[in-house]
Structure 1
Amino acid sequence: MHQRLDLRNPLHADDSDDFLLEQVQRASFRYFWEGAHPQSGLARDRSGRTSDPTNDLVAIGGSGFGFMAILVAVERGWITRDEAQVRIEKMLSVLERTKRYRGVFPHFINGVDGTTVPFTRLDDGGDLVETSLLVQGLICVRQYFASNGPKDTAMRDRINRLWRSVQWDSHIKPGEKVLYWHHSPKFGWARNVPIRGWNEALITYILAAASPDHGIDPEIYHEGFASDGAFVNGRHYYGVRLPLGPDFGGPMFFAHYSFCGLDPRGLTDQYADYWLQNCSHAEINYMHSVHNPHGYIGYGQDCWGLSSSHGPRGYRVSSPGSDFGLIAPTAALSSLPYVPEFSMRALRHFLTLPHGKVNGRFGFVDAFSPSRKWFARTYLAIDQGPTIAMIENHRSGLLWKLFMSAPEIQNSLQNLGFASPHLGGPREPNKG
C-alpha cells in the first residue's frame, strides 16, 4: 500500500521542483483514493479540508478525472496495479447500473444506487459534457490495461460497452447542427445550452465524432462548436495574442479539462494551433494578476490563477473578465505544461501561506482570497483532477500518450481535419 505523504508536512524552499510536484500530485490523488465515495469508489463532487461530506453525491466528470488519477498513481508506485484494478472494477460496476439517458450520464448521481441527482430543476437528465469527461478517463484506462490477460481483457470490454452506448447524436435538436449540453426526459431541451466554442468542451466533439455507433458528422463540429470560425479571436491582451475564445481567454479550465487526455502539442486545425492557444491563455491569465487592474491585495508574479472554484459565497467561475479577487491553485498548477516557470513560482508561493488554512488532507484547498483573508475549507473533484493529470502530462506525458493512442480518437481527429504528431500526415478538413 502507498506510503502516506502530504502537504501538511512542511516543505522547504530548497526542495527540488520534482519533489514538490510529486507531493502535490500525491495529495491530489488521495482525494480520489482515500476521499472517494465509500460504496462506489467514484469521485465525490466536493469534500472538506478535514472531513468527508455526509451525503452520497458523486460527480460524473470528476470521476473521469479520478480514473486518470489512479493511472498516475500506478505509474508513480503509490499503489499497485492490482489495487488499481480492484478499485476500477468497483467503479465500473456502479457506472454500469447508473441511470443513463440514451447512454448519456447525468451530472450527479447517488453513489450508493446510481440514481440521478438533479443538477438543477431542469437538468435532471443527460449531461453530455460531464459524460465526455468521464469517457476521456475511461479511454485512458482502457489503453493502459492493454495486456491479453483475462482481467485486462474483461476490463476493456466493460469500458467499451459503456463508451459505445453513449448516443452522442441524440443531443442534436432536429434540423440543427450543434450538440446540446443537456437533455431531460421530463423537460426535453428546456435547459437549452448549445455547446459552442471556445470553452471546455472540445473533448465532447472529439469523442462524439469518434463514436463507432452513435457518431456525429464533421459538419456538426465545424458549424456547431467552431461556428464556422466565429470562435476565432486573434486580438492581443497584455501584449499576448489569443487565437480563440472570449476576451482575455476566459477561466483557466478551458485549457485543462479537454486537455487532460487530448495532447495539444502540435495539435492544429484550420482554426488554431492548440498548444499556442493554451500557452497564450495561461500567459494572459498570469499577466492579469501581474497587472492587477482591480488592485486586489496579494496578486502578482507569485500569486495568480483564475478558474472555477469554491468562493466565499458559493461556486464562482473566475476569469480576467470576471475577477472576484479569488485565486484557485488548480489554475496555476494545472497550467504547468504551458507556463512552467510561472506555475512553479505560484506553487512555491502557495507553500508560504498559512499551512493550516491553505493546506489540508488533500493538499491545497480549492481557493483563497488574499484581499479578504479567506480560505476555502473544501476541495472540488473538477479542480483536484486536472491538477494531478496536467502535472503528470508535464512530467511524463502519460495521459496524453494513452488517450492519443486510441484508434477511435486518431480517426476522429483526422476526420475533423486536425493534424497532430500522434497521427499520420495532415488530412484536408471534411465538412461533409
Structure 2
Amino acid sequence: MRSDGKPIHEIASISGIGFAFLAIVVGAYRSWITAADALERTNQILSSLGKVKRYHGAFPHFVNAATCELIPFAKFDDGGDLVETAFLMQGLICSREFFSGSTPAERKLQTAVDELVQAVEWDWYTKGESGPLWWHWSPRHAWARNLPIQGWNEALSCYVLAAGSCKYGIDPACYHSGWARNGAISNGNEYLGVRLPLGDPFGGPLFLSQYSFCALDPRGLGDGYCSDYWMQIHAHAKINYLHCRSRYKDADGWGLSACDGPRGYLVNSPINDSGVIAPTAALSSIPFLPTEAIETAHQFLHWRGGRIEGRFGLMDSFKPSTGWVSKTHLAINQGPIVAMIENYRSGLLWDLFMGAPETKSGLKRLGFSSPGQQLMT
C-alpha cells in the first residue's frame, strides 16, 4: 500500500495475507469492525486463496492480487515457499479458532481453513531426509534455491506446524538436526551486557523474533535449547534497543529490522546498520519491552511534526540522518504491529493459536513445554 492510500494492485505477499487475517481477528475483537463484516472479508480472501496454484500444498511468495497467479520472487523462486506458507497458516488457524461458532458463514470459514491447512505437504519439503525443512521448491528448478530452514530465524512456526500435521507430519529429528542444527543454534554470549540464548551475534534484525511469535506464545515456552523463549525475544529486543540508543538521538526512536530503504528493500541489524529505522521493530516489541516501545511510539508520532505518519499508520521506515521517509506500508511490517499490541493487551492471538490442535500436537512432538497450556499427548 502506498502512502496516499492507493493500493499496489498487482502484487500480494502470502505472508502479508496471513498477517491480515490476524489483523481482521483483532479488528472484530475490538469492535473496530463487526463480526459479520470480518467474516465476510475473511471468506472473500479464502475464496481467492482457493484459486492460487499450490506446490505440494505450499503457496508461492507473491501472487497477482487480481488474477491469483504466481509472481516469481527471485531466481529459482517460482514455486512453493514454505515460510510464507507457515505465516499464512498462522493467520488461518487463528481465524478458525476465533470464528468457532456454528453459523453458515463460520462453518464455511472453518471448512476452507481446514482444507488449506491440511493440504500442506510439510514432510515432502524435507526431501525425504531427516535433516531440515527446505524453504523453496520450483516445478521448473526443483530445489535449486537450496535454502534450508535453520534457526535462529523467523520460521519456528514452520517446524511446529510441520510436526503437528496429521497427514504430512515431519519426524521430530528434522527439528533437532535441521532447525536446531544439533545444538549449534545456541549462543549464550553477552552483547551490550545482555545474554542472548540463541542465534547469531547481536541477534540480527528484529523480525526474526517477531513473525512466528505473533501467534506462538513465548511466555514460559521452552525446549531443550532454550528454557524460556520469552527470555530469548526479550534479550534480542533489548540488544537492538541498546544499540540504537548508542547511535540515534532519543527523539528518533529505535528499531532495526527488514524494511523499505532509500534504494530498495534492506535488512538492518546492529551489525548491519544503514541508518534506517523501521517503526515495526520497536512497536512489535511491545510485549517484551513495553516501556521502551510505548515511549518510542510517541516519538514516532511526533517525529519532525508527524512526517512519518501515513493514512494507514506509520510509514514503513525512515532515515533520521537525511530525513528520508518511505512512501509505502508493507503488510509484513504493519501486521505484526497490530498483532503484538493485541497480544500485549490481552494475549488474544497467543491464546487462539496455542489452543489449536495443530499447535498443541506440534509442540508436544517437538518436546516443548508451556505453562498454562495442556499439550496433546
> Is residue 252–residue 281 contact of structure 1 (8 Å, CA) maintained in 2?
yes
Q: Does 1:92 align with 2:46?
A: yes
1:112 is aligned to 66
Which of 278, 284, 293 is 2:233 aligned to?
278
1:9 is aligned to none
Which of 268, 289, 293 is 2:244 aligned to?
289
TM-score by length of 2: 0.97
1:42 is aligned to none
Which of 344, 359, 362 is 2:309 aligned to?
359
* Cα distance in structure 1, aligned partners of 2:329 and 2:120: 29
Which of 345, 350, 370 is 1:420 aligned to?
370
> Is residue 325–residue 370 contact of structure 1 (8 Å, CA) maintained in 2?
yes
> Is residue 361–residue 376 contact of structure 2 (8 Å, CA) maintained in 1?
no
* Cα distance in structure 2, aligned partners of 1:345 and 1:363: 17
TM-score by length of 1: 0.85
Which of 392, 395, 414 is 2:342 aligned to?
392
> Is residue 164–residue 358 contact of structure 2 (8 Å, CA) maintained in 1?
yes
Distance 1:370 1:301, change over 3 A: closer
* Cα distance in structure 2, aligned partners of 1:113 and 1:123: 19
Distance 1:374 1:86, change over 3 A: same
1:5 is aligned to none
Q: Does 1:155 align with 2:109?
A: yes
1:339 is aligned to 289
2:199 is aligned to 245
Which secondary structure state, in structure 2, belongs to the residue aligned with residue 314 of structure 1?
A: coil
Give the total of aligned pairs.
376
User: How big is each residue's C-alpha offset from its partner over 1:110-140, in whole Å with a ceiling of 9 and x where there is no partner?
Assistant: 1122111000131000000000000000000
Matches within 5 A, 1:201-240: 201-240=155-194
Shift of 1:234: 0.2
User: How big is each residue's C-alpha offset from its partner over 1:202-248, in whole Å with a ceiling of 9 and x where there is no partner?
Assistant: 01111111111111011100110001110100000000000000100
1:77 is aligned to 31
Which secondary structure state, in structure 2, belongs to the residue aligned with residue 72 of structure 1?
A: helix
Distance 1:108 1:221, change over 3 A: same
Q: Does 1:348 align with 2:302?
A: no
Report the identity percentage.
Answer: 50
* Cα distance in structure 1, aligned partners of 2:65 and 2:372: 36
* Cα distance in structure 2, aligned partners of 1:149 and 1:386: 29
* Cα distance in structure 1, aligned partners of 2:277 and 2:329: 14
Which secondary structure state, in structure 1, belongs to the residue aligned with residue 329 of structure 2?
A: strand
* Cα distance in structure 2, aligned partners of 1:51 and 1:392: 24
1:14 is aligned to none
* Cα distance in structure 1, aligned partners of 2:49 and 2:13: 11
> Is residue 301–residue 345 contact of structure 1 (8 Å, CA) maintained in 2?
no
**1:210 partner letter:** G
Root mean square deviation of aligned Cα:
1.5
* Cα distance in structure 1, aligned partners of 2:164 and 2:64: 29
2:279 is aligned to 329
1:375 is aligned to 325
Q: Does 1:185 align with 2:105?
A: no
**1:88 partner letter:** T
* Cα distance in structure 2, aligned partners of 1:357 and 1:324: 20
> Is residue 62–residue 70 contact of structure 2 (8 Å, CA) maintained in 1?
yes
Distance 1:335 1:108, change over 3 A: same
* Cα distance in structure 1, aligned partners of 2:321 and 2:225: 39
User: How big is each residue's C-alpha offset from its partner over 1:253-312, in whole Å with a ceiling of 9 and x where there is no partner?
Assistant: 1111000110000101111120000000000000001222xxxxx444862100010011
1:407 is aligned to 357
> Is residue 268–residue 418 contact of structure 1 (8 Å, CA) maintained in 2?
yes
**1:267 partner letter:** L
**2:235 partner letter:** S
**2:347 partner letter:** G
Shift of 1:341: 0.6
| Runs of 4+ with >3 A deviation | 298-302, 424-427
Where do 5+ consecutive residues of structure 1 fail to align?
1-46, 293-297, 428-432
* Cα distance in structure 2, aligned partners of 1:334 and 1:54: 24
